[in-house]
Structure 1
Amino acid sequence: MEPVTEETTAVVGEGFRRTTRARNKTMRAERGRGFWRLGTSTVLYVMVVGGMADYVDPQVRVIAHLAFWLFIGLGLGLTVARERRHDWAPRPRWPWLLAALGGAVTAEVLILAVGSPAIIVGSIILLVLGAFFLMLVG
């Protein structure tokens, strides 16, 4: 048997030493891609408020509309603050207004047109189709 000789080998990771500490590096802020969260939350709001309409007092629906408008306004405020903080060009503001007013009007029109049971069944069908699509795309 031959004796094992010690050779000077590079230490693992030697070629990958940082010149700048990681916490000093700034990460580029990424802008959101579209209004998917706004649209999804508006559709879910219409499903919930439309589905509960026959089972609660009308005052509860009014409170739900006001809370939804408050959350939409809060989301718009956070988006504007983020745009200013990262020096991004301002995005259109009309989708926020459309979501706030369109969601409330759509819920009320669906309640008057088809009623809560049909909205519940339609919501379940829409959620199942959405889950199927999400499973397809990964």
Structure 2
Amino acid sequence: MNVAADAPCPCGRLDARGRPLLHAACCGPWLAGAPAPDAEALMRSRYCAFVLQDAPYLLATWHASTRPPAVDFEPGLKWLGLDVRSHRQTDDDRAVVAFVARSRLGGRAHRLQEWSRFVREDGRWFYVDGDVA
């Protein structure tokens, strides 16, 4: 699955006027290999990777200390939206992002609410782990 460069980004980020950012101006560069500028941008791009079922990107942006050997996707799961509640850099190379991701599976709605921890190494941000609320 791909997102057209001129389509709204799946992460739902809005521009200053409240319009959806296009994928090419939002998460597209990070998914193509450019380093995300901050933990929130990485978290949003990882949400897009789940929407797109891009396991290589998810694994590449997962910190080696907690990275699983593989990423499995739930058959039939449809991601419906992302709401970033807060983004806080705790020091130069650590950050926390709180978010809610909505999905639907088998006709039932689900919400994933998490406080995710990120670390920056050699200029790149990585997802470490998170606490599900």
- The TM-score, its normalising length taken from structure 1, stands at 0.21
| Bigger proportion of residues as helix | 1
Which structure's relative contact order is higher, taking Cα pairs within 8 Å and 6+ residues apart? 1
Q: TM-score, normalised by structure 2?
A: 0.21
